[in-house]
Structure 1
Amino acid sequence: MALAGAQGTLWSVEGGNKLVCSGLLKLSKANVIHATVTSVTLQHTEGKPLYLVEYENEAGIGFDFYDIVVIATPLHLGNSSTIAFEGFDPPLDVTQDSFQPTVVSLVHGYLNSSYFGFPDPKLFPFANILTTDFPTFFWALDNVCPVNISTNFRRKQPQEAAVWRVQSPKPLLRSQLKTLFRSYYSVQTAEWQAHPIHGSRTTLPRFALHDQLFHLNALEWAASSVEVMAVAAKNVALLAYNRWYQDLDKIDQKDLMHKVKTEL
């Protein structure tokens, strides 16, 4: 799954994929509190769990009570937004391993095809390049296309200036940019924790941390992509709904795998 983002023709939304989230929030008419959650404390009322959620924003410190809580952020080591879980006995162990830091550089310039074994740029046949060399200063390089493609769109030829996306473990040095490009007009970079560092794990993080307390991003440790997160979100919604209304026969159905296989 780590190679899924190495293609230049990925599904995207003009203005940024974040508009999908803001659009869904607007359509749902949800009450959005713009703040950073600092802690989730378990309390009880009439035998049912009740969660005190504390948060901070520019107005100060606030809190609210909720029957159902969904954590939709990674809880990995080094995450500055790690949430404290209090009042649980035994205490919740939610700290996970590290994520892979990744830098994406959008470079508008002329690719140095000679570096890849093609002295004549007109003969360079690739739009996507992956490297298996380790260590290396870059992981992938691809020629990106605009979001809105007209009928007469033509991908830039290798000898022409184009927009290339370079994925690397660290910000590219000027000398490294000069290695990949004969010349360039501009460079824009973004750095973030891209995905979990997958290894030979024998277990996965808990999806249900407590009764009606869920951790959406636990599924990232199986596979990390926006599609997987959409599946996780649907599962959380169904699980919370069925548990709330005590439709327990719809949870962990014995013949579910058979139904899924026949449906597909």
Structure 2
Amino acid sequence: MFSRSFLFAVLSSTAFLHSVSFVRGYKIAVIGGGIGGTATAYFLRNTLDPQPQVDVFEENEVGGRLDLSTLSGFQYELGGSIIHPRNKHVVELVNRLGLEHRSDPPFSKTSFFDGKEIVFEDSSWTVVDLAKMAWRYGPMTLYKANKQLQDMLGHFDRIYDIQESGDCFANVSELLSAMSPTFPAMTQTSADTIEDLSAEFMREIVGAALRVNYGQYSANATKFVTFVSLAGSEGGLWAIDGGNKRLPYALLAAADAFLIPHKVRKVERSQDERYLLHWDQVSDTYDAVVVAAPFDGTLELPSNMQASVRPMEGIWVTLIEASAVNSSYFGRPVSDVIAVGLAWFNSIGRVWPVDGRTPDKPVYKIFSAEKPSRQLLESVFVDVGQVEQHHWLAYPHYDWSKNADASFQLGPGLWYNNAIEWTASAMEMSLVGAKNAANCAAKHLGLALKQPEPIDKDEL
């Protein structure tokens, strides 16, 4: 039986031979095989003319933070689990690649828990919910909050035409300013400075959105990431049948890029002003490089090129089989609960397998800052069965007082996609960063831009 090290050696050799045997056209390296890296490979291969060779480096599984967890034979979303209907890049790619929408799960009531009691609970009736929210938060607060959110989404929509025209941005503030001159400041000011919203709305609605989407608090969060969180609370959200992880796999297949299952250790400038990448005692030269994974301090860059390491927010994801949430724990029957005050969890919600099947026993997903013990879980749930727990570096830690502009371009022909996460972390943000990298590569290498050809579902 071949050892894993032997297989990796073979793959490394194959990758090297593949690279040196390619003698025509440009060669681009993408470091990272998550949604941002695979989308970069897709845009590079399908929107640039002539088509460059693209090598994607990923030491772990393709998909990155779009991961799944298995419990009792069923798979559940571990990472990004929702897609907004106005996420044009995701929507277009899902349609182009022939992926399907997952059926909507049964309705579950959502309750807000302030650490002592349930302070608000929605219903299955939209009109009733609007009336209850208007009574609790004030009708003008609801109107002004929605107006600010829709204004922001309207400005954000401008990025699609901008990127379609081939614009390339060297840093995040330039990209944001192209959408709205107000956006850069929103990434460096506190959510608490949002105007015209009642204290109750900020504490409960805004607090709930930040806790469930980013595991963070309004006192630290920026205005920009706060409105992204609120957008994640709108209606019409959906997911991909079989799991959102299918998207990066489909992007990589459609890109027809070469996957190298190794970690790049060093990037240095070559004598011919290209880039020499080193991995597992192998090296090769590339005309351009795109880093599409969060910097963790282990990738060595050329001495005159620096990228800041952004701390990631650690969170525990617990999947638990249970007959129900213990009504005595919250003082009433509940299903989905979001903490809006001090509590050991951020959110508790019933989840469904990514293939749409119904498990024999209900499954709940918990987000929490600390790992909950079995004893705690058995006090919160009734008839606890199997439990799966994962520590997850899901998104950057946001602190408006320490936020600053971030650079996409680290050097000539070297870009860092994940700089865009300094504004907000989401699948669509990663795709915006990926398209920017492809546009920048076209400009740097003097390539033309074209529209990708439609892809037949049977080709994947």
Same fold (TM over 0.5): yes
SS at structure 1 position matched to 2:389: strand
Q: Which residue of structure 2 aligns with residue 213 of structure 1? A: 414
State the distance in 1 between where 2:390 and 2:363 align. Answer: 15
* Counterpart among 300, 305, 310 of residue 84 in structure 1: 300
Per the TM alignment, residue 68 of structure 1 is displaced from its structure 2 partner at its CA by: 0.7
State the distance in 2 between where 1:4 and 1:202 align. Answer: 19
Is the 8 Å Cα contact of residues 214 and 395 (structure 2) preserved in structure 1? no
Per the TM alignment, residue 5 of structure 1 is displaced from its structure 2 partner at its CA by: 7.0
1:26 aligned partner, one-letter code: A
Q: Which residue of structure 2 aligns with residue 75 of structure 1? A: 295
State the distance in 2 between where 1:212 and 1:92 align. Answer: 12
State the distance in 2 between where 1:75 and 1:195 align. Answer: 12
2:277 aligned partner, one-letter code: V
* Counterpart among 258, 269, 286 of residue 42 in structure 1: 269
Structure with bigger helix share is 2
User: Is 2:318 the partner of 1:100?
Assistant: no
Report how many residues are paired. 218
SS at structure 2 position matched to 1:105: strand
Per the TM alignment, residue 206 of structure 1 is displaced from its structure 2 partner at its CA by: 1.3
Deviates more, 1:20-29 or 1:187-196: 20-29
Per the TM alignment, residue 10 of structure 1 is displaced from its structure 2 partner at its CA by: 5.2
1:196 aligned partner, one-letter code: P
SS at structure 2 position matched to 1:129: strand
User: Is 2:347 the partner of 1:140?
Assistant: yes
State the distance in 2 between where 1:32 and 1:20 align. Answer: 16
**Identity, % of aligned positions:** 26
Per the TM alignment, residue 223 of structure 1 is displaced from its structure 2 partner at its CA by: 0.3
Per the TM alignment, residue 229 of structure 1 is displaced from its structure 2 partner at its CA by: 0.4
State the distance in 2 between where 1:53 and 1:92 align. Answer: 15
State the distance in 2 between where 1:223 and 1:128 align. Answer: 25
Deviates more, 1:207-216 or 1:93-102: 93-102
CA RMSD of aligned residues (A): 2.7
State the distance in 1 between where 2:241 and 2:307 align. Answer: 33
2:420 aligned partner, one-letter code: L
Structure 1 gaps of 5+ residues are: 248-264
State the distance in 1 between where 2:403 and 2:320 align. Answer: 40
Q: With CA pairs under 8 Å and 6+ residues apart, which has the higher RCO, 1 or 2?
A: 2
Is the 8 Å Cα contact of residues 321 and 362 (structure 2) preserved in structure 1? yes
Q: Which residue of structure 1 aligns with residue 276 of structure 2? A: 52
Is the 8 Å Cα contact of residues 106 and 189 (structure 1) preserved in structure 2? yes
User: Is 2:367 the partner of 1:167?
Assistant: yes
State the distance in 2 between where 1:5 and 1:161 align. Answer: 28
SS at structure 2 position matched to 1:177: helix
Structure with bigger strand share is 1
Is the 8 Å Cα contact of residues 96 and 205 (structure 1) preserved in structure 2? no
Distance 1:218 1:245, change over 3 A: same
Distance 1:182 1:220, change over 3 A: same
* Counterpart among 219, 239, 252 of residue 440 in structure 2: 239
State the distance in 2 between where 1:116 and 1:161 align. Answer: 21
* Counterpart among 430, 435, 451 of residue 229 in structure 1: 430
SS at structure 2 position matched to 1:63: strand
Q: Which residue of structure 1 aligns with residue 251 of structure 2? A: 24
Distance 1:10 1:101, change over 3 A: farther
1:236 aligned partner, one-letter code: A
SS at structure 1 position matched to 2:384: strand
State the distance in 1 between where 2:361 and 2:214 align. Answer: 22
1:183 aligned partner, one-letter code: D
SS at structure 2 position matched to 1:36: coil
User: Is 2:131 the partner of 1:131?
Assistant: no
Is the 8 Å Cα contact of residues 314 and 392 (structure 2) preserved in structure 1? yes
Residue by residue, what CA displacement relative to the aligned partner does 1:116-169 show, whole Å, maximum 9, x if unpaired? 221xx4xx3xx43211333x321111111233447xx8xx9xxx9511000111
SS at structure 2 position matched to 1:147: coil
SS at structure 1 position matched to 2:434: helix
State the distance in 1 between where 2:252 and 2:361 align. Answer: 39
SS at structure 2 position matched to 1:52: strand
